[in-house]
Amino acid sequence: MVPNIFSAGLDITEFYQKKPEETDAFWRTLQDVFLRLYGSKLVTIAAISGHSPAGGCLLAMACDYRVMATGKYTIGLNETLLGIIAPFWFIETMKNTIGHRETEKSLQLGKLYSPEQAENIGLVDQICPPDDVLGCARKEMVKWLKIPDHARILTKQLMRNELINNLSSKRKEDIYNFTSFVQKDSIQRSLGLYLESLKKKKS
């Protein structure tokens, strides 16, 4: 685990000033990761040890349960703040997690929530002191593993198959949409400015 950061989201440099075939491949890989994690038969618990913006939030939401460290960390789908948009399967995953209305506000505002706020709206299930996040996740895992596996798996599939099938049937179209969107000059400019601002914040 990297202290303070669960995931900084997608590596923007993978779709900034890249060739279309490179962004296609990047997006295909992300679809694969999501479909495997969201569709996993295993019990998956995210131990969110720190910041978890955008793609990081998506990965956490793809799990069955989320434990987040307390502290000055944030989680959420902040895409609009970068001048980009969350694709339909990010949106659906968030709707399935926190409901339609909260998702609508959250996405348009590019909202990043504190751990307490995230727990209040159900974006995370539990908050724990940073040095106990893994411990809390392990304790929760024990509960989930006591459920008969076949019944839990079938239930999970019933809940998740609609989104999995929807994305699986639209993968090519989704890749096309991503690449044509991020390759626009205006979007590349926004991404460049955002990367600059991250570096400036650091110095």
Ligand X SMILES: CCCCC/C=C\C/C=C\CCC/C=C/C(=O)SCCNC(=O)CCNC(=O)[C@H](O)C(C)(C)COP(=O)(O)OP(=O)(O)OC[C@H]1O[C@@H](n2cnc3c(N)ncnc32)[C@H](O)[C@@H]1OP(=O)(O)O
Q: How far is the CB of 13 from ligand X (least distance, A)?
A: 5
CB of 51 to ligand X, least distance (A): 4
Question: Is residue 79 involved in binding ligand X (CB under 6 A)?
Answer: yes
CB of 133 to ligand X, least distance (A): 17
**Closer Cβ to ligand X, 118 or 182, answer by number:** 182
Instruction: Give, to the nearest 10 degrees, the angle between helix 20-38 and helix 171-182.
Output: 130
Size of interface with ligand X, in residues (CB under 6 A): 27
Helices (H) and strands (E) in the chain, counts: 9, 6
Near ligand X in 122-161, by CB under 6 A? none
Q: Can residue 76 be called a binding residue for ligand X (CB under 6 A)?
A: no
Residue at token pair 């999995």: 164
Question: What whole-number distance in Å separates Cα of residue 26 and Cα of residue 20?
Answer: 10
From the list 76, 87, 110, 115, which residue makes contact with ligand X (rule: CB under 6 A)?
A: 87
Residue number with CB closer to ligand X (80 or 153): 80
Catalytic residues: 10, 55, 78-79
Tell me the three state secondary structure of residue 96: helix
Phi-psi region of 102 (alpha: psi -120 to 50; beta: other; left: phi over 0): alpha
